Chains A and B, each alone.
Chain A
Amino acid sequence: MSVDDAAKRISYSFQKNLRLDEPSRQVIEYSITMALSAALSAGFTAMIGLLVGAFWPTMVAASSSAWLRNFSGGAHCSSAGRCAIAGAVSSPLLGLTALHGSKVMGNWNYALIALGTIISLYIMLKHAPDEAPEKPIPARRKPILHKRSMLWVMTLGASSLLMTAHLPWLGVSIALGMLWQCFTLLPAGHGFVSSVDNLLSRWINI
């Protein structure tokens, strides 16, 4: 049973018990779908992060990317299960890269984070907010989300630079999460996510 089917079934029990009309049931179904897909995604990501021995870098990179995503939008998978698998592979990879890369790069971490922040700002300037067909953004909200995306990149970049002085892996994890999120806004990012989604759809149907 897919996450969407589970959410639909639960929402019908709400409708039955509270005698909700159809639009209200759809709102409940939407909310349950989001909650279940977030729990599935976070659970898988945490599990793989633990297995590869990079739990905290994985969770920091995933959170940095997820917060930015609220404002900037980005490419999507076509099901909650495939999204969870894609996230459970990409975030631990970012975490592992941050954990080991930050040791190797030494003082170069600062220069790379600054460069990454500038690239991210440019991508946000050009592409944020990236609208999903499933969720059209009203015209009056677009400038607000654009501004917030830029502000959030600046905040992440600054905190990443500050953290690198004490805990290099933490700073690099934040920066990699931010860069990864910016990549999903680009046409190349959309192409990449859609090919991963197509590939996973052969095996995963949840």
Chain B
Amino acid sequence: MRRKMIKWAFSLAAAALALFASINAASACFWTWYQPELPEALREK
């Protein structure tokens, strides 16, 4: 049960993080003065 809960928590966090990354991929750059390298998977062809 505990293992299942942890897996669920990881899945939800991963979904939220993926959404955050894809929203940011549409902007010119990030809010701060630091821009990490955009991963290949998020680059538009």
Contact = CB atoms under 8 A, between A and B. Distances in A.
B34 A77 contact: yes
Given A23-B40, A27-B41, A27-B42, A137 B28 contact: yes
A135 B35 CA distance: 8
Interface in B1-35: 6-7, 10-11, 13-14, 17-18, 20-22, 24, 26-35
A69 B33 CA distance: 9
Interface string A152-189: 00000000000000000000000000000000100000
Nearest to A131: B28
A193 B33 contact: yes
B28 to A, nearest CB: 4
Question: Which of B14, B36, B38 counts the most chain A CB atoms within 10 A?
Answer: B36
Contacts, number: 132
Contacts of A82: 34
Question: Which of A27, A80, A128 counts the most chain B CB atoms within 10 A?
Answer: A27
A27 B39 contact: yes
A34 interface: yes
A71 B27 contact: yes
Contact of B20 (A20, A31, A69): A31
Interface of A: 4, 14, 17-18, 20, 23-24, 26-35, 37-38, 41, 66-67, 69-80, 82-84, 86-87, 128-132, 134-138, 141, 145, 149, 184, 193
In the A-B complex, the 9 residue pairs with the closest CB atoms: A83-B34, A73-B28, A26-B39, A83-B33, A31-B17, A31-B21, A23-B41, A129-B28, A66-B31
Given A77-B33, A134-B35, 10 more contacts: A26-B40, A30-B38, A66-B32, A72-B28, A76-B35, A128-B28, A134-B36, A137-B28, A141-B44, A184-B33
Interface of B: 6-7, 10-11, 13-14, 17-18, 20-22, 24, 26-45
